[in-house]
Amino acid sequence: MDLSIIVPLYNEQESIPLLIEGIRSVCERMGVSYEVLLVDDGSNDGSWAVIQGSANEHVKGIRFGRNYGKSPALNEGFRNAQGAVVVTMDADLQDDPEEIPELYRMIRQDGRDLVSGWKKERHDPLSKTIPTKLFNWATRLVTGIRLHDFNCGLKAYDGRVVKAIEVYGEMHRYIPYIAFKEGFRNIGEKVVRHHPRRFGRTKFGLDRFMNGFLDLMTIYFVHRFGRKPMHFFGSLGTVMFLFGAIATTWLVVDKVYHLYRHVPARLVSDQALFYVALAAMIIGVQLFTAGFVAQLVERNGPDRDRYRIVDRVGL
């Protein structure tokens, strides 16, 4: 199979036939073997009936029992994709199937691991475009990956990439970062057309930007410290405990010095620094213990030996 096209969707019954026809026309011109995986994320409008009526040797459908979100839909599509190249796109007709040939070429001929679309000219209201720009700026800052549009649904992948990564929660926005951390460093970008929505309304609200920020922090810490939580919690705990210990030592030495000089001094327990130091030592011990427990959990986790082998010789 040359090409798999994964389309997560929710309540897009009017768009599905037009999208399938557009994909079919493009893929037949390309002369490649292809499949279209339509992942119905718990639609309640009749989208599944349309998918059932459109199913054939090229068009396949997966239906969730309820609305789980875009990330689980993509992850299920990745698990079932058979193509050497995998393209993802939204079902609302804002992504143009005519972009597929160039995305496919950039993977097969240019050797890219992943190509992300960039909707340079967006047909969205300011209430969506301005937060999107801020989101992309923050993501570039944290991840170090210089992409303009992390959240663009139109992306292309080498088939090896989608089999090596797991997308969960709301992590679909950060697939380039997830792939990068798995060793797929050849990431490209392509300016793509963005059409106005033709049917229905957007399924995303402003809350996705706050959720996106929290997910960014989660994925950053998971990839940096997921295999070594003691390095994070233990370091913080050690710093907190040392601060408390040094502050306590200072208070005791200061008290002894005043007593030695026969100079009246405040009780150690009357000073605010004493309670700050005590709290710091307690928090430090708790953080260190949390890191130790987290390390034990990670050590005994079922995926503790999960790693990706890229080549072998002599075996």
pLDDT of residue 119: 87
Alpha-carbon distance values, 231 to 180, 188, 205, 287 (Å) = 22, 32, 37, 11
Question: Quick one: average pLDDT of 220-240?
Answer: 82
Question: Quick one: average pLDDT of 243-264?
Answer: 86
Tell whether the model's pLDDT for residue 206 goes beyond 60.
Answer: no
pLDDT of residue 268: 77
Half-sphere exposure of 41 (CA within 13 A, CB side): 21
Choice among 33-47, 145-159, 200-214 with the minimum mean pLDDT: 200-214
C-alpha span between 266 and 246 (Å, rounded): 19
Top-ranked range on mean pLDDT: pick from 26-35, 201-210, 258-267 = 26-35
Alpha-carbon distance values, 194 to 27, 92, 124, 252 (Å) = 20, 11, 9, 68
Band the pLDDT of 125: cuts 50, 70, 90: low
Tell whether the model's pLDDT for residue 88 goes beyond 90.
Answer: yes
Tell whether the model's pLDDT for residue 205 goes beyond 60.
Answer: no
| The two structure tokens encoding residue 6 | 């994964």
Question: Quick one: average pLDDT of 251-276?
Answer: 83
Name the β-bridge partners of 114: 157, 187
Q: What percent of the chain has pLDDT over 70?
A: 88
Question: Quick one: average pLDDT of 165-190?
Answer: 88
Residue 215, classed as helix, strand or coil, is helix
pLDDT of residue 166: 86
Residue 85, classed as helix, strand or coil, is strand
Band the pLDDT of 207: cuts 50, 70, 90: low
- pLDDT digits over 17-76, tens only? 999 999 999 999 999 999 999 999 999 988 999 999 999 999 999 999 999 889 999 999
Band the pLDDT of 277: cuts 50, 70, 90: very high
pLDDT of residue 43: 92
Tell whether the model's pLDDT for residue 112 goes beyond 80.
Answer: yes
Band the pLDDT of 6: cuts 50, 70, 90: very high
pLDDT of residue 210: 67
Angle at 152 between CA 151 and CA 155, to 5 degrees: 120
Half-sphere exposure of 142 (CA within 13 A, CB side): 23
- pLDDT digits over 156-170, tens only? 999 999 999 888 777
C-alpha span between 202 and 224 (Å, rounded): 34
Q: Are 165 and 179 in contact (CB under 8 A)?
A: yes
Band the pLDDT of 120: cuts 50, 70, 90: confident
Band the pLDDT of 302: cuts 50, 70, 90: low
Tell whether the model's pLDDT for residue 307 goes beyond 90.
Answer: no
Q: Are 174 and 211 in contact (CB under 8 A)?
A: no
pLDDT of residue 218: 76
Alpha-carbon distance values, 253 to 34, 172, 246 (Å) = 77, 55, 10
| Residue in the block written with tokens 């030996």 | 305
